[in-house]
Structure 1
Amino acid sequence: MIKSINSKVILTLVLMFGFSLASKAEVIKMIIKEDLASCTGVAPMTCMQVKYKNSKNWELFYSQISGFKYKPGYRYIILVDRTKRKNVPADASMYEYKLKRVVQKTKVKVKTNTAWDYVLKHKWKLIQMNGVTQTSSPVYMTFDGEKNRVAGKSGCNTFFGGYDKREDTLIFKQMAGTMMACSEELNKLEHQFLTLIGDKTFKFDVADQTLNLYQNNKLVLMFGTAAL
């Protein structure tokens, strides 16, 4: 009889403890984007991109969702149980996530990133001109893909203009710039750069984080990525 009572008490405590743990789980809705994004945890990796109830922009999701099998090319709306962890390991999420239900799974056409997409995302600093390495060059340029505009610094002056991009061909057009007085060294650099690039047509490629411009199969200008 005593054993039976003790068993019932233990069972009740276990159920109460389990209910207490479960009650701490918060049910949230998440939207999972159809493609992964580069991210950095302990090392470079790829992460899911998610939106929550009040999100305006996609956020990188560094954790895992237990029971959820992600497949690129599909956008998901899911419900998950989110539980706050008590002892959070270093470099780990403060929450644990467990799939409750997949509300919606929609096939989405994923845009394939091209070399030109990479060019549009970066600022390009001149590192070589006509075979001569440019050390600490002030010359740079950026491209606006929506307006087909190019702008940057040609020395101590700024320059701007338009461009056409056709497959692996880049055509600069209607180039102009400011006309501030510069040192003799910068004047020389600026004149050489603007003469090379002004209203000219180049073949281009992107390799090892460099943007390379060619004329007659000769490398004329090389740019490296720089912080915006």
Structure 2
Amino acid sequence: MSMDACQGCASLTNFEEKVFMKFQNKFVNLLIMNFILLLALAACSPAGSGSDVEPEVDSVTALEGSSWVLNEFGPEEGPTAVLPDTAITLTFTDGGINGSAGCNSYFGEFTQSGSSLTFGAIGSTKMACPDPLMQQENEYLAALDTVSRFTLEGDQLTLEYEDGRLIFTEGTVEEANDEAEMDEEETIKTIFVGPELVDCVGVAPQECLQVRESEDEEWSLFYGQIIGFEYEPGYEYELRVTETEVDNPAADASSLEVTLVEVVSQTAVPTTPESRPEGSELQGTSWVLTTFGPTDSQTAVLPDTELTLNFDGDQINGLAGCNSYFAEVTINEDGTLSVGLAGSTLMACMNEDVMQQESDFLAALGEVTSYTLSGNRLTLHTENGSLEFVAATMHETGEEDAEVVDWETAVSLLNSGEVVEIFQTHSLDVTLTLADDRTIKTVEPAIDDIFQAIEDCGEPCRDILMATE
């Protein structure tokens, strides 16, 4: 190899060395610049920023499958404790909630994101309970509807809502019931009430309800009253009631105070021939209407009008308020009764209310399905209501201008102070004598309701003379 060629090789080697050195310097500079950039970025980050970022709460581990018992709720500065002997619970399921609101069971949906929590589509059963319990339940369900956030601290769950907080302790429905020592079967029970009052003797002769605790039991006599229950003969009732021990009851009173919680059912029961009072066959009897219409909204007969009903063989007839009417009637031994198409005279009365009453009365007669007799009282039952009559002989007794009024009107007269004398029969018929010598006839809903009405009346009824059969 010539010297020139060798020098060329050396020259090439020096060139490569220079390129390498130049590349190496750029690489080192690049590393230094990246390091400086990282330091600058770190310096720009807020100190302690990690502690200000709200950690994401895992909804599955935090709430789903957990159960809670409410301790108190309301404003933070003055929360209200849950009523004694009640348990309000909250259980989280897969996207849903359920629990006891104290009286009714409830259910709904929940949505959670971080510490945010909302409930939706909340529904409940519709059982009625005493007022304090219902008030607490309504306030609780209303609070749930506005919940927006929650916090978990150990075994305590706090739900924040529009007007305050709900504070729960972890626990199950069973644990809540044990802690509250609440046994519903001891305080609320179901009883059945028979369709007729029967003669009985306590301190004095009276009429008693027939009751039993199951449909398989025989009827037994009930000598007291069920507070809040308006009994109507001809129906068998299923009731939910509470029983409370009475301290030092009177000699003729029960040691238990029974209060109506709910009328579960009311079923019309036709009167059987064996259960009818002796001598109360319909044939040849005459009656005067006092009220008629739906069971829960009876209408009293208009003043100065008289609607009558007479049984004559297979026919009925009477006055409809303006016109006379007549119709065929079928009375069966099982207590069912039906009225054929009624005919009437065609006199037009000037008073439109009287004509409307007549039309309603004749229409109701055509819907009668059964009847009940109780002393001087006759009830014709329809599918949705009844027509209430008193015996015409009772209606005609006393002054010629004697009126037959419904029970509510009679109580109003009592409270007005116009009544000076009362006579009660065991067939629920009551006669009121007014200060102006008028005589008023009515029928009390249950035996001795007239005496309870006098007691409730107070001072205006203090000097009333009272007599009974």
TM-score strictly above 0.5: no
Give the TM-score normalised by structure 1. 0.45
* Bigger radius of gyration: 2
Give the TM-score normalised by structure 2. 0.23
**Higher share in strand:** 1
Q: Which has the higher contact order (CA 8 A, sep 6+)?
A: 1
